[in-house]
């Protein structure tokens, strides 16, 4: 009886030790990737507001971490522009004069939604027409899609 009791105590201790080691291993394995980089993934859209619903003209995705990618035509340039702007989308709009635009009111809205360096972000800017939008985003790889 004493041998069986000693075996049961030893087996229980071994099981607890192995279970604890597995728990520590699984926590370490899942926690490690999160500390490598902050996620940056965005969806950029161009819409023509009006009527009962907005009509999406274009939409692209952009991922900047761990590497530049997505459906954006220039993901590396877009990520570089956004890093240089410190994540401030308004600073990417050019104030330099571009081509002459008519005063036609045909609004175009650019939106950015997603996560930038681990922080949820949302940005929206409406231009009077596509000519004004093209002038404002001409210098930015991020908004030129």
- What pLDDT does residue 96 have? 74
Residue 80 has pLDDT above 50, yes or no: yes
Structure tokens at 41: 């993934």
pTM flag (> 0.75):
no
Asked, for residue 143, whether it belongs to a domain, the answer is: no
Residue 54 has pLDDT above 50, yes or no: yes
Clarify whether residues 32 and 52 are in a common domain.
Answer: no
Count: domains in the chain: 2
Asked, for residue 144, whether it belongs to a domain, the answer is: no
Clarify whether residues 92 and 109 are in a common domain.
Answer: yes
- Residue 103 CB partners (closer than 8 Å, separation 6+): 128
Lowest average pLDDT, out of 3-12, 22-31, 117-126, goes to 22-31
**Does 22 or 119 have the greater pLDDT score?**
119
**Does 115 or 140 have the greater pLDDT score?**
115
The CATH number covering residue 76 comes to: 3.30.350.10
- What pLDDT does residue 3 have? 46
Q: How confident is the model at residue 18 (pLDDT cuts 50, 70, 90)?
A: very low
Helix intervals (H) in 32-107: 75-84
**Which phi and psi angles does 32 have, rounded to 5°?**
-60, -50
Clarify whether residues 46 and 113 are in a common domain.
Answer: yes
Residue 13 has pLDDT above 60, yes or no: no
Closest CA to 112 of 124, 104, 120: 124
Clarify whether residues 122 and 63 are in a common domain.
Answer: yes
Strands annotated E in the chain: 41-48, 55-63, 108-116, 119-127
Clarify whether residues 62 and 6 are in a common domain.
Answer: no
Residue 55 has pLDDT above 80, yes or no: no
Clarify whether residues 32 and 43 are in a common domain.
Answer: no
Q: Which domain holds residue 2?
A: 1-36
């Amino acid at each position: 009886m004493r041998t069986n009791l000693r075996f049961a105590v030893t087996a229980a201790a071994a099981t607890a030790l192995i279970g604890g080691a597995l728990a520590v291993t699984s926590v370490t394995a899942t926690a490690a990737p999160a500390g490598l980089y902050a996620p940056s993934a965005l969806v950029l859209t161009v819409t023509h507001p009006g009527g009962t619903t907005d009509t999406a003209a274009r939409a692209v995705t952009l991922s900047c971490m761990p590497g530049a990618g997505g459906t954006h035509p220039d993901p590396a340039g877009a990520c570089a522009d956004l890093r240089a702007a410190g994540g401030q989308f308004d600073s990417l709009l050019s104030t330099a004069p571009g081509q002459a635009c008519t005063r036609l009111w045909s609004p175009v809205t650019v939106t950015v939604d997603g996560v930038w360096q681990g922080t949820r972000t949302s940005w929206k800017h409406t231009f009077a027409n596509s000519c004004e939008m093209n002038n404002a985003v001409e210098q930015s790889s991020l908004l030129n899609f």
